[in-house]
Amino acid sequence: MLTQTEINELINIVGASGVATAPCMMDTYAFYMNPEVLIKDGGRWAPRPSAVVLPASAEEVRAIVQYANRSGLKVKPLSTGFGTWAAASRDRVIILDLKRMNRIIEIDVNNRIAVIEPYVRAIDLQTEVMKHGLNVHVVSCGGNHSVLASATAAWGYGLSGASMGYSGRNLLGVEWVLPTGEIYHLGSAGDCGRWFSADGPGPSVRGVMRGFQGTMGGLGVFTKCAVKLYKWDGPDRWEVTGACPRYVLTEKFPRLAFHALSFPSGQAMREAGYLMGEAELEYSQFRTPMFFMVLGLTDHNEELKAFLDSGVFQKMTRHVLVNAVVGHSEGEFAWKMKALKKILRRTRGVRLPLNVKPTAVQLRWMGRLTKYLKDPLFILRRLPFLQDLANALPLDRRQDMDAYSRMFWLLIRHANNTQGTFRPSQGMFTTLGSFDTWDLGVTQSDWIAEAKKEYINKELILDDEGDLGCGGLFEHGHLGYLEGIGLYDPKNPASVMAAGELVEKGVAASISNAMGVPIAAFGHEMNKRFGPECHHYHQWLAKIKAALDPNDASDSFFYYQTDDNE
């Protein structure tokens, strides 16, 4: 609880309409996705903050942070506020909801740079920059996320990472309200006011600012940043027909193709990933587990059940990559498609025909016919020209456009990425997911498949029949990762607890099996566990925190917390 004097101080900074303290409003900032990350008893509620404040400028943020330093309060910023890491750690934390800071400040078309505020959503920025023949990296949680948050403060991996790297890599400059309240401009923005470099002149402090995972709001507030933009030669506008929830494009676009590539084994998929990376032919890519492949093809859960019950997809889509190929010229597009086909021949990959969606009845028959076939696609693998034929057949134009549209929304617009996965059970957890090598990612997906079996058998989590390692290759194969995803029932505390246990097992296995620092390895407990395994990075975090936040005014629950016993 804040005193009236404290509330008045906040009102003096942002105005009365920018301060909320009512318990009902506070609870809307104590409820997030993935509560199992934070709440170990299977409950849903994170700690309730003492106030939520709406600053409209870096100056207001500075004033709030300075007041927190004087008064013993803590601040925690959030933008879209999707995950539990946006929560306050305890009472007397002020949440800075940055929704009023939503301006696209500049789009430098020639130098391919966008300067933005925290609440600029990816879908908005992308829509704007596409008008200029440019595109921006969007993280896999979807187009409704904050571009600044993923670039400055948390992870930053997305489906267009194959060609665009990841969000932290694309950061070119930052306006940073330090935990003490000073405003610091990082990189060239601080030197000459131009936002072309995050690292210089002079020694780079990007690692201090962001580190590997991001500081999750635990080290000051980022109030402006510049991100690198990439060339986009696809359409800058398009017509949409259909209605919620199925929006369909009216036409296909030149030099933009989507594929679902099925491989006969994990090893073949692994090799193809590297080869496509070397050839630099993918614009976007996503490793789609069988369950998610079927989920994406169906419109409701009964249909999903029927598709899975047929047994067909288990044989054909166990090792699938979906990708987008964009050609900046006709010649380049032709070359990329030729290279893709050559790689598929070498790895026995198949471009699955997306121009027809079988009915449940047809699938049942297909299931019976292919029951004794280990690989129903073997003919297409041996005779690749049949793939061209199958993909070219105008079997069903409506279905063809529907599939094309689904791929466009997924791989280009990021319109239904993470959110689409909530349909089966309304709950999703993730573990593992070290951003490392593509090989390690595949190892992680194998691990999660095995680990989930016990919980699937007890019907505590959803039986997805597979690994659900989701992710892909980044920077043309230089990096890769696969998150270990599972689906649970948020209405059932036992199911939530099971998800929490699996997250914990993933953390333990990351250490014991040397599978890298997992995606959920943030916060004090994780730092203590992983620091000693990784060059004692936790001690560096302690030093950074102590130097930049002497009054511990940033709520660093998911970054670094001081330990009274240390």
| CA–CA separation, 324 and 257 (whole Å) | 6
Interface characters, 259-298, with other proteins (x: CB under 8 A): ----------------------------------------
The answer to whether 363 contacts other proteins (rule: CB under 8 A) is no
Distance in Å, CB of 123 to other proteins, minimum: 5
Nearest to 159 by CA among 182, 171, 183, 143: 143
The answer to whether 81 contacts other proteins (rule: CB under 8 A) is yes
| Binds other proteins by CB under 8 A, chosen from 10, 38, 51, 54 | 54
How many Å is the Cα radius of gyration of the chain?
A: 24
CB 529 within 8 A of CB 538: no
| CA–CA separation, 19 and 320 (whole Å) | 49
| Binds other proteins by CB under 8 A, chosen from 135, 425, 554, 556 | 425
CA end-to-end span of the chain? 29
Q: Name the strand (E) or helix (H) holding 128.
A: helix 122-130
Report cis status (omega within 30 of 0) of the bond before 245: yes
The answer to whether 300 contacts other proteins (rule: CB under 8 A) is yes
Q: Considering the complex, state which of residue 275 and residue 304 has its C-beta at the smaller distance from other proteins.
A: 304
CA 442 to the chain's CA centroid: 18
| CA–CA separation, 248 and 399 (whole Å) | 10
| Binds other proteins by CB under 8 A, chosen from 17, 110, 512, 565 | 17
Distances from the Cα of 465 to the Cα of 19, 315, 420, angstroms: 48, 11, 18
The answer to whether 258 contacts other proteins (rule: CB under 8 A) is no
Q: Rounded to the nearest 10 degrees, what angle do helices 330-347 and 266-279 cross at?
A: 150
As a three-state string, the secondary structure of 53-71 is ECCCCHHHHHHHHHHHHHH
State which amino acid sits at residue 288.
Answer: T
Query: Segment 105-164, which members bind other proteins (CB under 8 A)?
Result: 121, 123-125, 127-128, 142-144
| Binds other proteins by CB under 8 A, chosen from 474, 488, 559, 560 | 488
Stretches 28-36, 57-65, 152-160, 252-260: which one binds other proteins (CB under 8 A)? 28-36
Judged on CB neighbours under 10 Å (0-12, 13-18, 19+), 99 is middle
Distance in Å, CB of 540 to other proteins, minimum: 32
For 89, other C-beta atoms within 10 Å of its C-beta total 20
CB 431 within 8 A of CB 276: no
Number of residues that bind other proteins (CB under 8 A): 74
The answer to whether 489 contacts other proteins (rule: CB under 8 A) is yes
Distances from the Cα of 563 to the Cα of 74, 164, 338, 439, angstroms: 17, 38, 57, 36
Distance in Å, CB of 171 to other proteins, minimum: 21
Phi and psi at 433, nearest 5°, equal 80, 35
Q: Considering the complex, state which of residue 27 and residue 439 has its C-beta at the smaller distance from other proteins.
A: 27
The answer to whether 57 contacts other proteins (rule: CB under 8 A) is no
| Binds other proteins by CB under 8 A, chosen from 301, 359, 539, 562 | 301
Q: Considering the complex, state which of residue 141 and residue 542 has its C-beta at the smaller distance from other proteins.
A: 141
Q: Considering the complex, state which of residue 198 and residue 412 has its C-beta at the smaller distance from other proteins.
A: 412
The answer to whether 310 contacts other proteins (rule: CB under 8 A) is no
CA 273 to the chain's CA centroid: 19
Q: Considering the complex, state which of residue 17 and residue 512 has its C-beta at the smaller distance from other proteins.
A: 17
528: Cβ–Cβ under 8 A, 6 or more apart, which residues?
538, 563
Query: Segment 505-524, which members bind other proteins (CB under 8 A)?
Result: none
The answer to whether 236 contacts other proteins (rule: CB under 8 A) is no
Query: Segment 61-80, which members bind other proteins (CB under 8 A)?
Result: 80
The answer to whether 324 contacts other proteins (rule: CB under 8 A) is no
| CA–CA separation, 33 and 44 (whole Å) | 9
DSSP, collapsed to helix, strand or coil, labels residue 371 as coil
Distance in Å, CB of 469 to other proteins, minimum: 19
| CA–CA separation, 369 and 178 (whole Å) | 64
| Binds other proteins by CB under 8 A, chosen from 265, 426, 513, 562 | 426
| CA–CA separation, 196 and 27 (whole Å) | 40
Stretches 63-71, 167-175, 271-279, 452-460: which one binds other proteins (CB under 8 A)? 452-460
Q: Rounded to the nearest 10 degrees, what angle do helices 301-309 and 290-297 cross at?
A: 130
Q: Name the strand (E) or helix (H) holding 388.
A: helix 385-392
The answer to whether 313 contacts other proteins (rule: CB under 8 A) is no
Q: Considering the complex, state which of residue 81 and residue 168 has its C-beta at the smaller distance from other proteins.
A: 81
Distance in Å, CB of 145 to other proteins, minimum: 9
Q: Considering the complex, state which of residue 305 and residue 328 has its C-beta at the smaller distance from other proteins.
A: 305
The answer to whether 456 contacts other proteins (rule: CB under 8 A) is yes
Beta bridge partners of 286: 322
Q: What is the torsional sign of CA 323, 452, 483, 446?
A: negative
The answer to whether 399 contacts other proteins (rule: CB under 8 A) is no
Q: Considering the complex, state which of residue 64 and residue 219 has its C-beta at the smaller distance from other proteins.
A: 64
Q: Considering the complex, state which of residue 48 and residue 336 has its C-beta at the smaller distance from other proteins.
A: 48
Q: Considering the complex, state which of residue 31 and residue 540 has its C-beta at the smaller distance from other proteins.
A: 31
Distance in Å, CB of 154 to other proteins, minimum: 15
| Binds other proteins by CB under 8 A, chosen from 202, 203, 244, 374 | 244
The answer to whether 413 contacts other proteins (rule: CB under 8 A) is yes
DSSP, collapsed to helix, strand or coil, labels residue 358 as coil
Stretches 61-69, 370-378, 415-423, 503-511: which one binds other proteins (CB under 8 A)? 415-423
Q: Considering the complex, state which of residue 317 and residue 443 has its C-beta at the smaller distance from other proteins.
A: 317
Query: Segment 170-229, which members bind other proteins (CB under 8 A)?
Result: none
Distance in Å, CB of 88 to other proteins, minimum: 13
